Structure 1
Amino acid sequence: MKSVSEIVFGGIFMKPKGITIADVAQRAQVSPASVSRYLNGVEGNLSAETAQRIAQVIEDLGYRPNAWARSLKTQRSGLIAAVVADLSNSYVPAVLHGIENITNSAGFSLLIANAQNNPDHESYLVERLLNQRVEGILLQPSSNKLTPSLRSLITNNIPLVLIDRLMDDVDDWDMVGLDNAGAMHLALKHLESQGYRKIVYVTDPPDEVSSRREREQTVLSSYAQWEALQIFVRRDNDPSGLIAIIDQMLAHSNDESTAVVCSNAVTALYAVKAIELCGCRIPQDMGLIMIDDPDWAPFVLGGITSVAQPTFDLGNQAAQLLVDKIQQTGISSPSHTRLSGSLVIRHSTINSHRLKKE
């Protein structure tokens, strides 16, 4: 298995084996220097007839310039990289669509590298991408720690924009992400309006990911408004720990409605499994809401209520900010842009306890 997962949108031009500038020049009956001038857009000394003849030969032979060799001369590779924490997370491809929209229109090819939620692998990928002479990097960090490889981006003045997550001890990198506190407030306000009084919050380990910390802190700050609040940190796929908490919560419910709040779509699927293993039904026995709105959300359990992230806009804005930095057309001072989530109400938060009382 390859250690670097790369997807190239728009293509990287590489010359077919055996076809060289010399071959083009010989067929077009011009010098290699004339072909080089044509390829680099310097056609001042070429007649229109000569330029047309070179173009026709290039098309006939299927010649494509060697992008690597040209980048050495021009100091421009035309490459932007997106390093993501986990490509299997449905959130990530949605963001990449927004990124691709900008890189295509700006004339850049996009390399995508999957860090597999491993900071060491992320460092390795960054080193590889620097060797590929990328002009800028979009980074969704696997951790909030500044590794030597990431520090080298600062040393080498490589433009970088963070996606959704901040880094500790780094203030001079731009970031575009969700307003995590606002998104969680939307979820909690909805549950309260539906009559839920007890909540279990399910999250992946929050310590090293800023977006998780922000969501957890928002839940904790709402403690006073709930009859009971439990935090469960998912560290593996074993649902037994969450099952125990749900059983405990329901055993002392006194007919007060309980809901599970999930930090993302991955923990939501984990919670669904645990709730079903408890013998509970959603929403008859327990409500469920999550941050993020993957494609499958409307089809599971009659529809899971969610706070949708503006994933396309997030990727779009992050990529545009990076392109502006590369082309030096944007603002130089770092900015942190927060985009609002939107509540999508579905079947999973219909509070049957409240309906019975009414």
Structure 2
Amino acid sequence: MTGARFWDMVCTALYLALYAALYAREIPVPAKRRSVTMSDVAAHAGVSIKTVSNVINNWPYVTEETRQKVVAAIEAVGYRPNHTARSLVTGKTKAVGVLVPDVSNPFFGTAIRACEEALVEDGYSLFLCNTNEDAERERYYLEQLLSRGVDGLILWGARLSCDELEGIVGADTALITVELGEEPRRSNHTCINVDNKGGACMATEHLLREGHRRIGHLAGPLDRITSRQRKQGYEQALVTAGLEPLPEMTVAGHPSVQGGFRAAERLMRTQKPDAIFCYNDLMALGALLAARYLGLRIPHDLALVGFDDIDVSSIVEPPLTTVRIPQAKLGRLTGKVVLERLRGSEGSERVILCPVELRVRGSSGNSFGEEQKKATLDALISSFSDGGERPA
């Protein structure tokens, strides 16, 4: 026998021995834990399975004593309702899909949290999707959520048209759109709009009252109705004041800090504005950075006004003048309206307008002193203990 052949045999023997040690010996398999069922709950509570089902589904005609007995039994045996099985029986998943254009925008964080609280109080779950300002992704998520049987849909800043949205969603799923800018056609569709044009007009009129005449505008993506409406309000205020809106004084950009920085730098270098009205607060914060980068003082050399009133707008230096949208209130409203639709309420309004208000702070005028700064900070801090909604 050759040396090579001998070592082949040795290696094979060692391999077989190792295999036997690891795999061939009998390994005890843990017994599969039996799922806890409603029968277990009923037996523990001393009631019928039907009574357990009535309690789980919040049937009103159950005595409080029986309800507490069943709830205690559910906790004791560790029962978890099978939502998939329940949806097959009831035709409802108790889930609502929510689509937002930019999940990193603090505006949506505040609004969606309030929406979720309203839904959870009624036993619903929320599935959140980020469309990234992309119509194709919006279409994809709609199809995915509908295929999973969500009972309702809430879309913020939809890129798809009303006709396409209603065509995809159909007539059986509750549909709530925020900032769609079109009249709903179907009875299952409610549109909630913000007074964008009025808010932009207020912001521009404020800058005009402060004595500014070369007022620029940082617009959001102009294929979005929200951006077009805010641009219209800005231009309307200028025309009313006897000023011609100049195309070169408007620069569109991505509605983010980076987008605002780039658009503002371009506008400041080429047009030398003495004030800028920005599509949202994130763009205004980008404009604030651009002004500092170019050596301009806010508000002495350049006044700024944003839109939204996200939390950070009141704590930057100088604090940002902005058009306030009550984000938590708006978020709760979307949750409330979709629940009304899911209950079959016919009294719900088809179109709802959310009002806005101007919050004047230090970025737009020299009259914003230390007392006003302290009051702004106090209002923000007080919101930390009342659920996040700042006082109106």
- More deviation in 34-43 or 294-303? 34-43
Corresponding residue of 1:307: 323
1:29-40 to 2 correspondences below 5 Å: 36=53, 39=56
Report the equivalent of 1:232: 251
Give the structure-1-normalised TM-score. Answer: 0.78
**Out of 173, 177, 193, which is 1:162 matched to?**
177
For residue 247 of structure 1, what is the aligned residue in structure 2? 269
User: Could you say which residue in structure 1 is the equivalent of 2:355?
Assistant: 340
Q: Is residue 320 from structure 1 mapped to residue 308 from structure 2 by the alignment? A: no
Residues 214 and 143 from structure 1, CA distance in 2 versus in 1: closer, same or farther, beyond 3 angstroms?
same
Counterpart contact for 2:194–2:353, Cα < 8 Å: yes
Q: What is the rounded CA distance, in whole Å, between the counterparts of 2:191 and 2:338 in structure 1? A: 10
Distance 2:307 2:116 in 1: 24
Cα distance change of structure 1 residues 21 and 260 upon mapping to structure 2, 3 Å threshold? same
Residue pairs, 1:138-287, within 5 angstroms = 138-145=154-161, 151-154=167-170, 156-166=171-181, 171-172=185-186, 173-207=189-223, 209-224=224-239, 225=241, 226=243, 229=246, 230-235=249-254, 237=258, 239=261, 242-250=264-272, 258-287=274-303
Taking the aligned partners of 1:43 and 1:106, their CA distance within structure 2 comes to 14
Q: Which runs of no fewer than 5 residues in structure 1 stay unpaired?
A: 1-15, 353-358
CA drift at 1:228: 6.8
Instruction: Compute the displacement of 1:287 (Å).
Output: 0.3
Cα contact 1:135–1:326 (8 A) shared by 2:
yes
Q: Which amino acid aligns with 2:343?
A: Q
Cα 1:150–1:47 shift into 2, 3 Å: closer
Aligned to 2:3: none
Native 8 Å contact 1:140 1:162 kept in 2: yes
- Taking a change above 3 Å as real, the CA distance of residues 260 and 68 of structure 1, as seen in their structure-2 partners, is same
Residue equivalent to 1:289:
305
**Partner SS, residue 296 of structure 2:** coil
The equivalent residue for 2:93 is 77
For the pair shown, which has the larger CA radius of gyration, 1 or 2? 2
- Residues 96 and 48 of structure 1: CA distance in aligned 2, closer, same or farther (over 3 Å): closer
Q: CA deviation at 1:203?
A: 1.5
**1:18 maps to which residue?**
35
Number of residue pairs matched? 326
Q: CA deviation at 1:268?
A: 1.1
Alignment of 1:23-102 (within 5 A): 23-24=40-41, 36=53, 39=56, 56-102=72-118
Q: Distance in 2 between matches of 1:348 and 1:34?
A: 62
- Residues 284-314 of structure 1, C-alpha deviations (whole Å, 9 max, x = no match): 1100001111111122122111111122222
1:105 is aligned to 2:142: no
SS for the counterpart of 1:174 is strand
Q: Displacement of 1:136 after TM fit?
A: 1.0
- Give the gaps of 5 or more residues in structure 2: 1-32, 368-392
What amino acid is aligned across from residue 347 of structure 2 in structure 1?
A: I
Cα distance change of structure 1 residues 325 and 267 upon mapping to structure 2, 3 Å threshold? same
Query: Matches of 2:235 and 2:99 in 1, distance apart?
Result: 31
For 2:69 and 2:350, locate their aligned partners in 1 and report how far apart those are by CA, in whole Å: 49
Q: Please say if residues 138 and 159 of structure 2, whose CA atoms lie closer than 8 Å, have aligned partners that are also in contact.
A: no
3-state secondary structure, aligned to 1:222:
helix
Q: Is 2:153 the partner of 1:134?
A: no
Query: By how many angstroms is 1:103 displaced?
Result: 1.7
**In the alignment, what sits opposite 2:382?**
none
For the 8 Å contact 1:126–1:150, the answer to whether it is kept is no
Fraction of identical pairs, as percent: 27
Bigger relative contact order (CA 8 A; separation at least 6) = 1
DSSP 3-state at the match of 2:192: strand
Q: For the residues of structure 1 that align with 2:346 and 2:65, how far apart are their CA atoms?
A: 41
Higher helix share: 2
